[in-house]
Structures are given as C-alpha cells and as structure tokens.
Amino acid sequence: MRLTTKGRYAVTAMLDLALHSEQGPVSLADISARQGISLSYLEQLFARLRHFKLVKSVRGPGGGYRLEGDTANISVAQVVDAVSESLDATRCEGKGNCHEGEVCLTHHLWEDLSAQIHRFLSEITLADLVARNDIQAVRQRQDIRLANSHHDETHIAISEIL
C-alpha cells in the first residue's frame, strides 16, 4: 500500500465518474476538463482501473467509462491499489532468502501497518464519498460550468474543492 498523489488522482477521477454515471458513460475528456488531469495520464490510470475490473469501457462516440458494479462495492483501497505498486523494498522480497531461514521481521511489521491502513481504506466506499453533501454541492457547480463552457477555460476541479 503506497500512498502518493497518483492514488489521489485516481480516487478523484473515480469520484467524478461516480458523480456522473447516471447519464451514461463518462468520457475521459470530460473528467480531464472537470478535474484538471491530463487526458493521457487519465488514459494510463484507467487502463489499470479497467484491468482491475473497477471500470468498464464503452468505445465509440458517446462512449466513455462506467463503473463496474455499484459505488457501494468499490472502496478507496481498491482504487489506490489498482494504480500504485505495492511497496516491497526488501532485499528478501518475500522469497524467503532472509538469512538462515529466519523470516523477515521489519518486513512483517511494516506489512502489518500497511495491512491495517489497507483495512481502513477498504471500509470507505465511493458511495460513502458521494453521499457527502459537500461533494454533492460541488458536483452541481461543476456540471453547470462544464455545460456552459466548452469554450470557457475556467473550471472548478474537484481537487480544488477537496
């Protein structure tokens, strides 16, 4: 469980997707416009999200991405895990080449911590985030703004509101 801005971008994008999933598939271009994340970067992130079965793609015009399954079944932990490597950084790498059969200790300890953080983030779902009224308030502002301005260059990104 690595915790960097990359995971944060992914959570933001997934939240945006959750907020707009009612009106059919959401294009990455729209997410890019609303959240201020580059399109190509989103493509990379969504390739992994798709691979982990968190989203489903619809190709062609009017296409985009849909959440795979219900928002209540997608946790923040899943999203973060999908886009970020798990951190090992040990000489042994779980292969058991720790000295003389003695199993790793610092390793276990850290994985312990890591597992607990993971458990914690597993209990927060996209549905929980969507239910927050501060999020709902922003959603509306963003929608209006995107509708008004396909020529306008000012946006309110969710990240500017979180």
Helices (H), 97-152: 106-122, 126-131, 133-148
Q: How far is the CB of 123 from DNA (least distance, A)?
A: 23
Q: Which residues contact 72 (CB under 8 A, 6 or more apart)?
A: 125, 126, 127
Between 41 and 52, name the residue whose CB sits nearer to DNA: 41
Among 11, 15, 21, 27, binds DNA (CB under 7 A): 27
For DNA, the binding residues in 103-122 under the rule CB under 7 A are: none
| Chain residues in the site for a second copy (CB under 8 A) | 1-5, 8-9, 11-12, 15, 35-36, 76, 87, 89-92, 98-99, 102-111, 113-114, 116-117, 120-121, 124, 129, 132, 134-135, 137-138, 141, 154-162
Round to whole Å and give the CA distance between 160 and 162: 6
Strands (E) in 50-124, as ranges, are 55-58, 64-67
